[in-house]
């Protein structure tokens, strides 16, 4: 079988491995090598018969992702630029819990992973889609980000957020395949409630996610509390407006009995007014949702800027005065271009201009 026609071994769930590795207990041996011992080739799976190792090598690929750059921020955030086997670049960000900011110890580590090369949704403030969408990531390419970051950082990841490059719900099947591996005891072994999927607002997929048995969390990238503001900066709102999106969120919370989070990037003189804060408070109240305010990370080539510190605090105060559970994220990774897609874009443009 040609390399291009092969599936990667780390894209297969346990039941598929059992169907190809006989007797069936061999499947657990394979997953131990992949996700516990984390070997880099079939040849290293020394407790498998040579015949089986040869068959696996013939039928499946063992793709790796190459670490191209690692940037460390003063606040302990680390950004990873990876090259895939086809040469495309993607990013992951390792985010420490708040106590770890500026060097203090932390017992929690969150990784923000990418799900696509580029993005087709064209949010006006985001670097990920500036060069358009190229392709979906396969399950193994999502899982490999976690494995590579744990290897580079030397510590176990506690939480996964699907908030990197791309729209996770536009790559629904591969994302759910990766989550199965990430969550399973035979895989990475991270609890479902420590996994968050973020979406720009794909209404049908939100409803589909509500029917999934795994209790993964949902975050909605709102970024505008009225249709006029949201449509200005998020073209997806023209297809799925706020009414449709909020109704899908209601469906999700009713099915899952889970509280969702509204992510809201604060952009100066765009969505940071008191009026937007009051409208956002109404939406959050109606769904018993939490709100995570994120000061805008400047992107090279875009004119948007973050509001002043006083304006950020005022927006937060309006929400809290209305009884909304809201947090204002401390600025993390701004000195290393930690916003989605920035490092990839800078690297690709540097190569073109060289």
Q: What percent of the chain has pLDDT over 70?
A: 89
CB atoms within 10 A of CB 173: 9
Q: Which residues contact 64 (CB under 8 A, 6 or more apart)?
A: 40, 85, 144
Q: What's the length of the chain?
A: 354
- Structural domains in the chain? 3-61 (1.10.150.530), 66-353 (3.20.20.70)
Concerning whether 91 is annotated as a catalytic residue, the answer is yes
Of the candidates 179, 162, 167, which has an alpha carbon nearest to the alpha carbon of residue 112? 162
Minimum mean pLDDT range among 7-11, 94-98, 152-156, 217-221: 94-98
pLDDT of 301: 81
Angstrom distance (rounded) from CA 115 to CA 229: 27
**Residue 291, class by beta-carbon neighbours within 10 Å (0-12 exposed, 13-18 middle, 19+ buried)?**
buried
Q: What's the pTM value of the predicted model, to 2 decimals?
A: 0.91
Query: Tokens 């696509």 appear where?
Result: 116
Distance from chain centroid for Cα 37: 25
Structure tokens at 338: 């930690």
Q: Are 123 and 129 in contact (CB under 8 A)?
A: yes
Query: Tokens 């895939």 appear where?
Result: 84
Which tens digits make up the pLDDT trace of 155-187? 999 999 999 999 999 999 999 999 999 999 999
Catalytic residue among 112, 119, 249, 340: 340
Catalytic residue among 91, 167, 263, 331: 91
Concerning whether 340 is annotated as a catalytic residue, the answer is yes
């Amino acid at each position: 079988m040609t390399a291009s026609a092969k599936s990667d071994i780390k894209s297969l769930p346990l039941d598929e491995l059992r169907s190809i590795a006989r007797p069936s207990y061999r499947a657990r041996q394979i997953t131990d090598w992949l996700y516990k011992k984390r070997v880099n080739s079939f040849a290293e799976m020394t407790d498998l018969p040579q015949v089986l190792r040869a068959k696996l090598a013939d039928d499946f690929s063992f793709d790796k992702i190459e670490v191209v750059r690692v940037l460390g921020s003063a606040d302990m955030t680390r950004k990873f630029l990876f090259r895939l086997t086809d040469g495309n670049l993607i990013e992951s960000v390792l985010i420490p819990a708040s106590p770890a900011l500026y060097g203090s110890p932390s017992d929690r580590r969150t990784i923000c992973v990418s799900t696509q090369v580029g993005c087709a949704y064209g949010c006006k403030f985001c670097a990920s889609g500036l060069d358009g969408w190229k392709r979906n990531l396969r399950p193994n390419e999502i899982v490999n980000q976690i494995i590579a970051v744990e290897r580079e950082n030397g510590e176990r990841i506690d939480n996964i957020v699907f908030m990197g490059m791309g729209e996770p719900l536009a790559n629904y099947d591969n994302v759910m395949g990766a989550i199965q591996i990430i969550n399973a005891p035979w895989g990475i072994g991270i609890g479902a409630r420590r996994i968050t999927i973020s979406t720009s607002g794909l209404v049908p997929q939100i409803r589909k996610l509500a029917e999934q048995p795994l209790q993964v969390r949902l975050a909605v990238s709102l970024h505008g509390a009225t249709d006029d503001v949201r449509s200005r900066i998020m073209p997806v709102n023209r297809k799925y407006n706020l009414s449709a999106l909020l109704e899908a969120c209601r469906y999700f919370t009713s099915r899952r009995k889970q509280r969702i989070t509204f992510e809201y990037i604060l952009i100066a003189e765009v969505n940071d007014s008191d009026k937007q804060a009051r409208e956002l408070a109404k939406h959050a109240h109606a769904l018993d949702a939490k709100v995570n305010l994120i000061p805008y990370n400047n992107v090279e080539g875009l004119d948007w800027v973050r509001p002043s510190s006083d304006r950020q605090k005022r927006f937060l105060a309006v929400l809290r005065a209305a009884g909304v559970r809201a947090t204002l994220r401390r600025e993390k990774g701004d000195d290393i271009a930690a916003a989605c897609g920035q490092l990839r874009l800078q690297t690709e443009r540097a190569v073109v201009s060289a």
